[in-house]
Amino acid sequence: MEKWCEIAVFKPNTIKPDHLGVQLAIMSLLILAGEPHVESDFFRSHLQWSERLTSIAAERARTKFYRSVVTMTGDFLRSERKSLQP
């Protein structure tokens, strides 16, 4: 993850590289760069766990707002995973 943080101009010692927000930020840079194979590799290597996280978080959310935010994030991740499959 340190390599990706450096590419995204994050300082690894100032962030938690396994944080979903950081990984989504890196993913957005890869999308903008237009490198589908790199984007796909990053997703497979670093974001496979995120769909499970969003599913569990949606079940445990105490408000409709957070449940909606987590559900939309999970929907986006599922859509992105499907679009990256060969």
- Position 48 scores a pLDDT of 85
Cα–Cα distance between 65 and 4 in angstroms, integer?
31
Rounded to two decimals, the pTM is 0.72
- Position 10 scores a pLDDT of 59
61 Ramachandran zone, left/alpha/beta (phi>0; psi -120 to 50): beta
Cα–Cα distance between 41 and 32 in angstroms, integer?
15
Count the domains in the chain.
1
Tens-place pLDDT, residues 18-44: 678 888 888 888 888 887 788 888 888
Cα–Cα distance between 15 and 22 in angstroms, integer?
8
Domain extent, residue 80, equals: 2-84
